[in-house]
Structure 1
């Protein structure tokens, strides 16, 4: 892991073995990542990634496995897009890592061979501002294939819910109610996906807190809705899982077939790219 921190915190552990995603996230001396309190999806790539604070789905598929285009939908031995796409477990090539009084910056490239026979490159840049403690991620996903392919991305930001009490709430203009208790839904599970409401600057803000275990701090997520226009939130308290996920995502929650029929799987030409950005703070 690469230590990515500032003197007064927070501290993030970047994982160069898997997309330079975030493993540990230490705030006020507490690692808020869920660790092993996660659902078992039967995929070791995803088990490893789910343990951490942030992992990346994509760049050609998000969510659960679906048949590749042209493969049978049911039965047979058809090929499938893997759970959460092909990015997870791909190593990052570190281009630069700098730290100083102003903060920290890490730049990397992650080549990904996609399930549909393509090649994509994720150019990833993390910055951490020493004055504000704000962490910013910018991804440029480039289609290096010989054919046009859609680009899809989802960022799972996962919390160990054992650190939450009943006072923790989710607040966002994207929610019809404006706010929800973190134990939304019924029983041990809950999930929804809504359009991300953006302000005049094109960014959507979601807050989670106050988190007493983190000294009363509130987690704040800001997302560029130009390419991440949806907000998905889920929780799972079915033992041994104890996790809450906040997930900005490029596409609404439905099948690839329906997205294609609606014209929402826009192909990106060879050499073309999409840019994705988000910002994280604990205030």
Structure 2
């Protein structure tokens, strides 16, 4: 396990009466402060990787560590219970009061900035348009847990897993369902995310999807390097020119830093995969995100290097940074027909240099 030795099912059984001696998945409920009541699945692979799945937060990924060093961003908000969330609060920016962890999922029908858009396809005269807040609704919807545990494959390889369904639905509105499966190998150092989004309703329904993957200290620190298979930069926020902070060599936390956001065109390999990463040579570790460029044709880099909220983001997206109104105007907006679905397969990988 942690020493690089692997065991098959029989050999592991000889050494321990419970697989929990090597790793596994444990269900707990958080019980204090704004997090109280959130169901969590704690994954330990035995290969140095440990992470939490927030069942009541769309099965997003919260705390994440590799050999004692954290890489899942921890903000001051903590993992706030979704019952405290008010979607339309603060002009649609209420997500910022529950923004923490390795993964925040954006969607299912809207991502990026706030927007009011046409909803005439739902044929309800009193709701001709729908208003959407920053990054949509899904991240604050609890999942219906299908199951979790450990599964041996041919008695040679053990897979830790969890699966659930998140339902985003309204009368005279969208009916989208996200089925999420999370896997990690016993003894392994990667998290596999398999998502399927299906239009379970009977009207053509908008679909936008984005992963806000957030890496924090100590993986992120002064001198850490953000590596990209960069073809070209398509867009950048005004703060890039105003501040001039490098998006490759990371500085220490900055006083009053204004977030810097980029949209990059990245070069996929021969299989269509893209692998941006953060490298920390002082710790001798890396974090890597692997995704399919056909599933996520856009990619944003987020630098939030302010004191007290120090993070960098990896954001594969189905749509460009201008958001939903621009996508509807230029014809690139995705509408799922009744019964239609989209599948997304992504890997989060950590390791030693």
Secondary structure at 2:140 match in 1: coil
Per-residue CA deviation, residues 78-124 of structure 1 (Å, 9 max, x unaligned), is 75112211101111111121225623011111111269811100010
Secondary structure at 1:102 match in 2: strand
Alignment of 1:7-46 (within 5 A): 7-37=46-76, 46=95
Instruction: Indicate yes or no: 2:328 matched with 1:277.
Output: no
Secondary structure at 1:164 match in 2: coil
Deviation of 1:161 (Å): 4.2
- TM-score in terms of structure 2 length: 0.70
Pick the structure with more helix per residue.
2
Aligned to 1:126: 182
The counterpart of 1:191, out of the listed 246, 261, 266, is 261
Aligned to 1:223: 291
Instruction: Give the distance between the partners of 1:131 and 1:161, measured in 2 at CA.
Output: 24
Alignment of 1:69-84 (within 5 A): 69=118, 79-84=130-135
Aligned to 1:250: 318
Aligned to 1:202: 272
8 Å contact kept, 2:189–2:349: yes
Aligned to 2:222: 166
Instruction: Indicate yes or no: 2:99 matched with 1:56.
Output: no
8 Å contact kept, 1:10–1:133: yes
Distance change in 2, residues 1:165/1:205 (3 Å): same
Per-residue CA deviation, residues 157-215 of structure 1 (Å, 9 max, x unaligned), is 112246533321111213549x822359x954311012332111111111111253xx3
8 Å contact kept, 2:111–2:323: no
Instruction: Give the distance between the partners of 2:248 and 2:48, measured in 1 at CA.
Output: 28
Aligned to 1:104: 160
Q: Tell me which structure has the larger Cα radius of gyration.
A: 2
Report the count of equivalent residues. Answer: 272
Aligned to 2:211: 155
Instruction: Give the distance between the partners of 1:68 and 1:180, measured in 2 at CA.
Output: 36
8 Å contact kept, 1:127–1:137: yes
8 Å contact kept, 1:152–1:250: yes
8 Å contact kept, 2:71–2:218: no
Bigger relative contact order (CA 8 A; separation at least 6): 1
8 Å contact kept, 1:120–1:141: yes
Secondary structure at 2:184 match in 1: strand
Per-residue CA deviation, residues 239-283 of structure 1 (Å, 9 max, x unaligned), is 442221111111111132221122211311011001112101111
Aligned to 2:28: none
What RMSD in Å do the two structures reach over aligned CA positions?
2.8
- TM-score in terms of structure 1 length: 0.86
* More deviation, 120-129/143-152: 143-152
Secondary structure at 2:139 match in 1: coil
8 Å contact kept, 2:70–2:218: no
* More deviation, 242-251/254-263: 254-263
Instruction: Give the distance between the partners of 2:68 and 2:171, measured in 1 at CA.
Output: 40
Instruction: Give the distance between the partners of 1:266 and 1:199, measured in 2 at CA.
Output: 25
Aligned to 2:332: 264
